[in-house]
Chains A and B, each alone.
Chain A
């Protein structure tokens, strides 16, 4: 005789969902978290992880060297406030490589209508993407700075620790994150092709850096010494550096200083506002 079955599989058919339904805010947060993970290649293919992790490793190198020198030679190598300007090429590559990932696939594969057929609005979507990239960029700057600061405290150099410099640099990191993420997303969202997005962001950085350097040199040589520092502000990294030194009293990373702080602050705000408006307009159009 066969033993009585102890377990039975029932086809219970379709079940309705009567659990919690969270609001728009939580959906936006979920989108932001998913985007942030994606920026660092988490939850994506191995190939997608290589670039961000490589760049993170490069960003950490000066920190490791710096701590080593502090420990062995008892000397400070790299000041905190100048770290972003020093590493600007790496940060620009990170921005160029990752901002198109955040926006281009949704445009190219037309996923956007699926988001918008849910309670999420265009503004929520843009906010989630901008915040994800801003947090990623902040982390990219803040983590090496913090490691270096902890290193400095542990090595215990003669004299007081450079806490004010460290905090000023963290404040600057917030500014970098906001400016670069808005500009990066604005440039990348204009094309559904990821490759073009990468090219346009990197071209933007190279163009502004080159023009800024060129104008600076020309103005200097032609004797317009007071006008020359304004040319520096064309480079987004020097722009933030000047605002950082105006707001947090850090030393400028260039030899002869910047134009008045208030001007830099206004330019920074104007660029951010312009970029955010551009992104919102772009998505209003894409949504209809």
Chain B
């Protein structure tokens, strides 16, 4: 876990039952600072978890805390320190982005002049230029998502909850939004809890990923932990693949052939050694190198394995 002294949020045996469904089932999980991804299919309980963490929905049983504050008794204090970007559309069409974000800053307790400054700053950071003075009714989905993000950041929270921020965006808009989320987590120094039903897009921006399904915890781990273990390099040479493989194996590397490619497992304790060995072997054998690239194991595959191994009721 990447947690610092107080985790960004933590739950303990958290259960939420609605009359017809159990949204969260005995969920115990914690996340530290940085960008945390919350992954699950639609209806897995992601939005319910966010509502409980905001102190807006009482859990059926169990407890939760955000930034060291208890959701049961300190909801207002939590909501003062966090930002929330809902999944659904939430922008009145006849207001401009500037008016709207200024208003939302005031609702978070900023005085009017400070609200104006912060709104202008935040809208600039999320990448909204001249169009911020136009009514939001005419905005594209990408622009609307940016305004929604801006209103969650305008009061400079310590932590933001982003509920499906890439929903409805085209691939380019998705990339831009993900880059923006990464910036919020690193450059802005604001911790992020971002939900998605797509694991693949979260692996690019998160430090830590939590996977839930049917309200239960499937897995919670830092991205580094398993991407490191899974790191391999792919090597392709014109001729002499066999010789190269033998030479590397003799040197103590784990090598596998995949068609015309050789994949070499990067040594976990001394990654430099593997790269050096590949370079030296290619040089010494006088082979012509066509390709040498890093391959990161996709966490999606790992989660597929883990879900296959541990059947969930």
A interface residues, Cβ below 8 angstroms from B: 13-17, 19-24, 26-27, 30-31, 34, 43-45, 48, 105-106, 109-111, 113-121, 287-288
Q: Is the CB of A111 within 8 A of B109?
A: no
**Also in contact, A119 and B79, with CB within 8 A (given A44-B94, A109-B90):** yes
With beta carbons under 8 angstroms apart, the residue of B57, B83, B93, B111 that contacts A22 is: B111
Least CB separation from A24: chain B residue: B76
Known contacts: A15-B121, A17-B155. The answer to whether A119 contacts B76 by CB under 8 A is yes
Complex Cα gap A23–B118 (Å): 18
CA distance A17 to B57 in the complex (A): 29
Q: A20 to B76, Cβ gap below 8 A?
A: no
- Please judge, given known A-B contacts A110-B90, A114-B84, whether A120 and B110 are in contact too, CB under 8 Å: no
B106 touches A27 (CB 8 A): yes
**Alpha-carbon distance A45/B95, docked complex (angstroms):** 9
> How long is the Cα–Cα vector from A34 to B155 in the complex, in angstroms?
19
Contact flag A110-B155 (CB < 8 Å), given A14-B125, A14-B187, A44-B94: no
Please pick, from A14, A15, A23, A111, the residue contacting B90 in the complex, using a CB distance under 8 A. A111
Residue in A14, A22, A105, A115 whose Cβ sees the most chain B Cβ within 10 Å = A14
- Does B295 sit at the interface, judged by CB under 8 A? no
Q: 1/0 per residue B15-57: CB within 8 Å of A?
A: 0000000000000000000000000000000000000001011
CB–CB B86/A110 < 8 A: yes
Please tell me if the beta carbons of A14 and B114 are within 8 angstroms of each other in the complex.
Answer: no
Chain A residues closer than 8 Å to B107, beta-carbon distance: 27, 30-31, 114-115, 118, 120
| Alpha-carbon distance A21/B156, docked complex (angstroms) | 11
CB distance from B29 to the nearest CB of A (A): 21
Distance A20 CA – B88 CA, assembled complex (angstroms)? 31
Contact-residue bracket for chain B: 35 or more
Q: Nearest 7 pairs between A and B by C-beta?
A: A17-B156, A117-B84, A30-B106, A22-B109, A14-B188, A21-B109, A119-B76
Asked whether, in the complex, the Cβ of A111 is within 8 Å of the Cβ of B56, the reply is: no
Q: Are A114 and B99 in contact (CB under 8 A)?
A: no
Q: Write out the residue numbers on chain A whose beta carbons fall within 8 Å of the beta carbon of B110.
A: 17, 19-22
With a cutoff of 8 Å between Cβ atoms, the chain A residues found around residue B89 in the complex are: 109-110
Please report the C-alpha to C-alpha distance between residue A120 and residue B121 in the assembled complex, in whole angstroms. 24
25 CB-based A-B contacts, threshold 8 Å: A14-B187, A17-B110, A17-B118, A17-B155, A19-B114, A21-B108, A21-B109, A21-B155, A24-B76, A30-B103, A30-B112, A34-B103, A34-B106, A45-B94, A106-B92, A109-B92, A110-B88, A110-B89, A113-B84, A114-B84, A114-B86, A117-B82, A117-B83, A118-B80, A287-B56
With A15-B121, A24-B76, A110-B88 known to touch, is A118 a contact of B94 (CB < 8 Å)? no
A135 to chain B, nearest CB (A): 18
Residue of A nearest to B135 (CB): A45
| Chain A residues positioned under 8 Å from B111 (CB to CB) | 19-20, 22, 26
Whether B114 and A20, one on each chain, are in contact in the complex, defined by CB atoms closer than 8 angstroms, is: yes
Q: In the bound complex, what is the Cα–Cα distance between A120 and B54 (angstroms)?
A: 12
Bound-state CA distance A288–B57 (Å) is 7
The reply to whether B91 and A109 form a contact with Cβ atoms under 8 Å apart is yes
- Nearest-neighbor residue (CB-CB) of A108 within chain B: B92
Inter-chain contacts of A15 with B (CB < 8 A): 121
In angstroms, Cα B104 to Cα A143, docked, is 32
Q: How far is the CB of B219 from chain A (nearest CB, A)?
A: 28
Specify which of B57, B104, B156 is in contact with A114 (CB 8 Å cutoff): B104
Determine if B7 is an interface residue (Cβ-Cβ < 8 Å): no
Contact A117 B187 (CB under 8 A): no
**Residues of the B chain whose Cβ atoms lie less than 8 Å from the Cβ of A24:** 76, 109
A43/B86 contact (C-beta < 8 A), A16-B156, A118-B79, A119-B76 known: no
Shortest distance from the beta carbon of A139 to any chain B beta carbon, whole Å: 22
Inter-chain CA distance A14–B109, complex, in Å, is: 20
Whether B191 sits at the interface, judged by CB under 8 Å, is no
Question: B61 to chain A: closest CB distance in Å?
Answer: 18
Q: Give 15 A-B pairs besides A14-B183, A27-B107 with Cβ atoms closer than 8 angstroms.
A: A15-B121, A19-B110, A19-B114, A21-B108, A21-B110, A22-B111, A31-B107, A48-B94, A105-B92, A109-B93, A111-B91, A113-B86, A117-B82, A119-B79, A287-B56
Contact B80 A21 (CB under 8 A): yes
Q: Taking CB as reference atom, which chain B residue is nearest A45?
A: B94
Give the complex CA separation of A13 and B184 in angstroms: 11
User: Quick one: closest B residue to A121, CB to CB?
Assistant: B76
The verdict on B151 contacting chain A, using a C-beta distance below 8 Å, is yes
- Closest residue of chain A to B94 (Cβ to Cβ) is A45
